[in-house]
Amino acid sequence: MLKLTNIIAIGTLIIVAFIMTKFKPVYTVYFNEEKIGNVLSKEQLEKELEQDLYDNNEKNIAFADLNVNIKYKRNFVNKNEQTDDEKILLAVEENSSITYFEYAICLNGIQKTCVKTMEEAKLIQEKILGELATSNVSISTIYTKELNIDNEKSQDLIANEIIENEKIKIANEEKIKQSTINGIYLAVNPVNGRITSRYGANESIRNHTHKGLDIAAKTGTIIKAVANGKVSYSGQMSGYGNIVIIDHGNEIQTYYGHCSKLYVKVGSQVKAGQTIAAVGSTGNSTGPHLHFEIRKAGQYVNPIKYLYK
Ligand SMILES: [Zn+2]
CA–centroid distance, residue 257 to ligand 1 (Å)? 8
Q: Does residue 1 have a pLDDT over 70?
A: no
- Which pLDDT band, with edges at 50, 70 and 90, does 59 fall under? confident
> Taking 80 as the threshold, does the pLDDT of residue 205 lie above it?
no
Determine the length of the chain.
309
Distance (angstroms) between ligand 1 centre and the Cα of 292 equals: 7
Q: Is the pLDDT of residue 207 over 80?
A: no
Q: Residue 15: pLDDT band by 50, 70, 90 thresholds?
A: confident
From ligand 1's centre to the CA of 275, what distance in Å? Answer: 20
248 pLDDT band, cuts 50/70/90, is: very high
Average pLDDT over residues 67-80: 89
Average pLDDT, the chain: 92
Give the sheet arrangement for strand 261-262, strand by strand: 222-224, 275-278, 261-262
Tell how far the Cα of 285 is from the centroid of ligand 1, in angstroms: 8
The yes-or-no verdict on residue 57 having pLDDT over 80 is no
Classified as helix, coil or strand, 105 is strand
> How remote is the CA of residue 181 from the centroid of ligand 1, in Å?
21
CA of 293 to the centre of ligand 1 (A): 8
Ligand 1 centroid to residue 290 C-alpha, Å? 7
CA of 217 to the centre of ligand 1 (A): 13
Q: Please give the average per-residue pLDDT across 301-307, as a whole number.
A: 96
For residue 27, the cross-strand partners are 39, 74
- Judge contact between 110 and 72, C-beta under 8 A: no
| pLDDT > 80? residue 85 | yes
φ, ψ (nearest 5 deg) of residue 270: -125, 155
- Cα(159) to ligand 1 centroid in Å equals 49
pLDDT of 265 > 90? The answer is yes
Gap from CA of 251 to ligand 1 centroid (Å): 21
3 against 245, higher pLDDT: 245
Ligand 1 centroid–CA 265 distance in Å is 23
Instruction: Give first-to-last CA distance, the chain, whole Å.
Output: 115
Most distant pair of Cα atoms in the chain: their distance: 142
Give distance in angstroms: CA of 256 to centre of ligand 1.
10
- Measured in angstroms, how far is the CA atom of residue 211 from the centroid of ligand 1? 7
Assess whether pLDDT exceeds 80 at residue 288: yes
Lowest mean pLDDT, pick from 60-64, 168-172, 258-262: 60-64
pLDDT band at 228 (very low <50, low <70, confident <90, very high): very high
Q: How confident is the model at residue 14 (pLDDT cuts 50, 70, 90)?
A: confident
| Closest by CA position to 230, among listed 216, 247, 215 | 247
Structural domains in the chain, CATH included, are 22-94 (no CATH), 101-178 (no CATH), 184-305 (2.70.70.10)
Q: Is the pLDDT of residue 77 over 80?
A: yes
Higher pLDDT, 55 or 168: 168
- What's the 210 CA to ligand 1 centre distance in angstroms? 6
